[in-house]
Amino acid sequence: MDKTNLAKSYDIDSHRRANAHPADWKVIERDRFLTRLQDSGQRKLLEIGAGTGIDSLYFKDHDLKVTSIDLSSEMVRYCRERGLQAYVMDFYHLTFEDDSFDAVYALNCLLHVPKNEIGGVLSEIKRVMKPDGLFYMGLYGGTDSEGVWENDWCEPKRFFASYSDRSIRALTGQYFKEISFQTVPLKEGEPYFQGLLLQK
């Protein structure tokens, strides 16, 4: 997977995304995670693959201390324009100290990680989380596959890794305790959304 091409794809697509509104099901998932953080008193949040900062800003507006990172410099520019503390950073190599964050939020970004590299990324996420920290991981899946998506509207075309429910739960269970797992159906015959709430 070519990270340079991935960053370029999102640089080019950033303006469209900056003006998009999240789907209703994404709002529900986000709200559920926020409630969990508020109920547990966890305030220091890292969003990886933050895009243009729509979710990060939502969390910040609800009194969380948010740090946002993305591989795309254009995405990070939009984050900063929204007043967010945002950095261009590769989540394979987070530049934060151990136990830095109460929680991590990753919506539809880890699906770009090849399966032979995802273990290292999950270990890195776990490293920067405080003991008992919460990790929300959301991705599209349902079947086990990986490769460049030939029907992608983005250029350069992006790499995606997809997991069956059993596979993604087995994978994350090697690194985290599962609090909850749920799926959200999307278009018939297409991948659906998998949402995992995990704990260090």
Burial status of residue 155 (CB atoms within 10 A of its CB: 0-12, 13-18, 19 or more): exposed
**CA–CA gap between residue 74 and residue 199 (Å, rounded):** 31
- The per-residue pLDDT for 7 is 65
- The per-residue pLDDT for 1 is 61
What 8-state DSSP symbol labels residue 158? P
- Asked whether 137 and 111 are in contact (CB, 8 A), the reply is no
- The per-residue pLDDT for 34 is 98
Peptide bond into 156 cis (omega under 30): yes
Predicted TM-score (pTM) above 0.85? yes
Q: Is the dihedral of CA 88, 92, 93, 97 positive or negative?
A: positive
Number of H helices, E strands in the chain: 6, 9
- The per-residue pLDDT for 151 is 82
- The per-residue pLDDT for 20 is 78
- The per-residue pLDDT for 11 is 59
| Residue range of the domain that includes 191 | 3-199
- The per-residue pLDDT for 17 is 74
Look at the chain and report how many structural domains it folds into. Answer: 1
- The per-residue pLDDT for 2 is 73
CATH number where 112 lies? 3.40.50.150
- The per-residue pLDDT for 21 is 80
Mean pLDDT for back-to-back runs of 10 residues, the chain (200 residues): 72 70 90 97 97 96 97 95 97 97 97 95 98 97 88 79 96 98 88 96
- The per-residue pLDDT for 169 is 98
